[in-house]
Amino acid sequence: MPQNELIITDKRTGSTYTIPIHHNAIRASDLAGIQAPDIETSPGGLIPKSLRIVDEALEHIAPHISQITFLDADIGKLYYRGYEVANILGEKTFEETCYCLIWGRFPSLSEAACFRRELFLQGRKPPKFVIDTIQNIPRTAPAITMLQAGVSAMLAAQGSTIPAFVGKELYWKDVPAVDSAIVRTLASVQAILTTIYCHRQGRPLTEPDPDPDCSFTYNLLLAFGIVEESTQKPNSKYVSWIERWLLIYADHEMSTATFVFLITASAHADPLSCYLSAISTAYGMINGGAQDAAYRMLARVGSPENVPNLLAAVKRREEMLYGFGHRIYNTRDPRARMFLDILREVEEETGKKDPLLAVAEEVDRLASQDPFFQRRGIHINPDLYACFACTAM
């Protein structure tokens, strides 16, 4: 039976090292035990004695082994806590999924109701100066700038939750305090997002419904004012579509934004400060900002007939193909199909279709069968269709 060990012989010194392998990974601290001969080090410490790993792109470095999400990169499957996302989509609510991601299991009915209640109590109308901060930004400004400003303002309103401000550790090894902070952060972000949406639309804020049966997504749409004219309540199909959209993006293992969140958390910061760091990273052009870039790319193309010209320009390195390419997946990203299914349901139900969706589908069709992209392992990612998820409704 093979042993989970790596045997390394350092020919500089003749020393042999045994490095344990766990989850097909080795720890960098074990490699640090490999010491260079004195002749290769320098008195000033410019060349350290312990062996180091250099990987500028962090492509082959695992800063943490996730117990939450697993990506099967070869067959294109995504799992939350062992559950394949495709199988829980439409079966579990967003807050039930959040509960599972945070605490390792899906909640009971009473636990789910309690979780919704806490989100409601802490996610009601934000303090006035938080609203004022957001509303002082022009409506046409990028939404990310409103989110950054809103989160900063909310932090100012929650000064007692910032460890450095109060001068003591608030979360270190205190699981109940961390649990409470997670709920508070989710609720705060919901309140900020609804304020931003209402400001951009020029409509008044609507407080969430206190009914414990009303989901996080239901209250999000209620606050957005996306309601039926006859009932003034969100359409259940719309709730289902947004529920699934949120669930698909609930987690994706060690994304760039998650990595930055954890880096900030390692300094013993509060969760909302960590979130502020993460969203700044998430809007980068090769992260969440690619959704905006993909939609603008499709708008420039204009019609399906022009897609070959786009792909030709990409091959000449004159254009970027947004919505394609991923550092992990060796096949189609499974989330792309999930988003496309939602969009087709929206089209069938409402009779409305963004004309640019036909452009996106043609990009998908042609690029996915083009040897140029296939040889390079450039497959579709969710940005190509996720950029339509909200505009479709």
268 an active-site residue? no
Of 68, 278, 260, give the one whose Cα is nearest residue 189.
278
Quick one: CA dihedral 157, 161, 164, 167, positive or negative? Answer: positive
388 close to 360: Cβ distance less than 8 angstroms: yes
- Residue in 270, 326, 364, 379 annotated catalytic: 326
Q: What is the pLDDT of residue 73?
A: 87
Q: What are 263-307's pLDDT values in tens digits?
A: 999 999 999 999 999 999 988 888 888 888 999 999 999 999 999
pLDDT of residue 390: 59
Rounded Cα distance, 385 and 333, in Å: 11
Give the chain's residues under pLDDT 50: 1
Q: Whole-prediction pTM value?
A: 0.87
Q: Is 97 helix (H, G, I), strand (E, B) or coil?
A: helix
Per the CB < 8 A criterion, the answer to whether 107 and 124 are in contact is no
Q: Residue 161 in contact with residue 270, Cβ under 8 Å?
A: yes
SS3 138: coil
Active site (annotated) includes residue 383: yes
pLDDT at 1: 47
Q: Reduced to 3 states, what is the DSSP secondary structure of residue 45?
A: coil
